[in-house]
Amino acid sequence: MLCVRLQRVLMRVLAVPYPFIQRALCSERSLIGLIGWVFIMAACACTIQPSPAVQMDAAAPSAVEQRMTIEATPPALPTSTFLQTVSPTQTITPSISPSASLTATLMPSFTSTFTDTPLPTYVKLRGKVTIAQAVCHYGPGAPYLYKYGVYAGSNLEILRRVKGGNYIEVQAIGGNNPCWVRVDYMEIRGDVNDLQPAHPFEVQLPMSPYYAPPAWVRAERNGDEVRVEWAGISLRAGDDSEQTPYIVEAWVCQNGEMVFQPVGAYLTQVSIRDEAGCGELSRARLVAAEKHGYTHPLEIKWPQPTFITPIP
């Protein structure tokens, strides 16, 4: 214990290195020799001036004390310091190169050469019955079944006219039960040609649910005359309309114009005049009547007129 204390004193006072003092103090020499060692080193210390480079501050702790202090002090926890570097915001301003140019590609334009044809505007007219009693039919012609009668002085609404014929479709003003009457039986306020035209084959007839069309029909031409004949139908008792039982609806050429001729017959054949000289094909169909209405139309294979080219 004495040896250790002497080591500390000698290190602090004489500034002697620790290994040298340990060998000097801890050897097997006598105490007298040790004391002599101390006096000798003290004398040397008095004659030797300490170098400024190794002069130590008396207030500064020794290396051993520093070591003991470090060992007694608990290690400090590592502290992470984050340094935030703020950089100025860079503003990017797009620049347009003066050499960059936009080139517009012109697409070819197509000019339509079609001209819209305005649709004709049709009107509804009004008229007054001029004869004592006029028969109003289900179809645009005299052979069609009777629907009801209109009387002198009656004001009626006029809806349509039939193409190539002389019948007009009328009804009571504000009514919904139209029928067909001859145009010359009425005094019409306005122009008949302003009425909507109806093709005769587009007129809706009342259909019979009980009878089929005739079994067959044929037509033969002799010049401008076409003879049509067909098979008759047998009606059950009480189904006879007591009116015209058969009608050949013919769309034919007469005097250079297409006309509508509904030809009624009580027998099973008729003759119809059909001339050349129109720009449209002639055609016809056959219907049979009973008191509930008409059979479905039976198309007739119509022989067309022959065009004769004059010899120059």
Reduced to 3 states, what is the DSSP secondary structure of residue 219?
strand
Reduce the DSSP state of residue 27 to 3 states and report it: coil
More confident site: 233 or 27? 233
Three-class SS state of 230: strand
| Parts of the chain belonging to CATH 2.60.40.10 | 217-300
Confidence tier at 42 by pLDDT (50, 70, 90): low
Are 243 and 235 within 8 A, CB to CB?
A: no
Q: How confident is residue 126, by pLDDT bands cut at 50, 70 and 90?
A: very high
> Which tokens sit at 224?
């401008």
Q: What's the N-to-C CA distance of the chain in angstroms?
A: 166
Total length of the chain:
312
What the block records as the tokens of 310 is 């004059």
Whether residue 292 contacts residue 206, with contact meaning beta carbons closer than 8 Å, is answered with yes
Q: Where are the alpha helices (DSSP H) in the chain?
A: 2-13, 18-25, 31-47, 63-72
Six-digit token string for 242: 């007591």
**Total-model pTM:** 0.62
- Residue 216: closest CA among 108, 298, 285: 298
pLDDT in tens, 198-249: 999 999 999 999 999 999 999 999 999 999 999 999 999 999 999 999 999 9
How much of the chain, in percent, has pLDDT values that exceed 90?
59
- Please give the residue that has the higher pLDDT: either 46 or 270: 270
- Is the per-residue pLDDT at 289 higher than 50? yes
How many other C-beta atoms are found inside a 10 Å radius of the C-beta of residue 150? 22
Q: Are 238 and 210 within 8 A, CB to CB?
A: no
Using the structure block, give the residue that is written with the tokens 């020794």: 62
Angle, CA 50 vertex, CA 47 and CA 52 arms, to 5°:
150
- Does the domain made of 217-300 have the CATH classification 3.50.50.60? no
How sure is the predictor about 118, in pLDDT bands with cuts at 50, 70 and 90? confident
Q: Give the pLDDT score at 77.
A: 45
Angle, CA of 45, 50 and 56, to the nearest 5°? 110
**How far, in Å, CA of 62 to CA of 46, rounded?**
21
Summary mean pLDDT of the chain: 78
List pLDDT tens digits, range 158-212.
Answer: 999 999 999 999 999 999 999 999 999 999 999 999 999 999 999 999 999 999 9
Q: Region 59-79: what's the mean pLDDT?
A: 44
According to DSSP, residue 194 is labeled G
Domain with CATH 2.30.30.40 in the chain: 125-202
Take residue 195 and report the two structure tokens written for it.
């009425």
**Residue 293 and residue 216: Cα distance in Å, rounded?**
20
> pLDDT category, 306, cuts 50, 70, 90?
confident
Residue 135, phi then psi, degrees to nearest 5: -80, 130
CATH class of 125-202: mainly beta
Say what percent of the chain tops pLDDT 70. Answer: 61
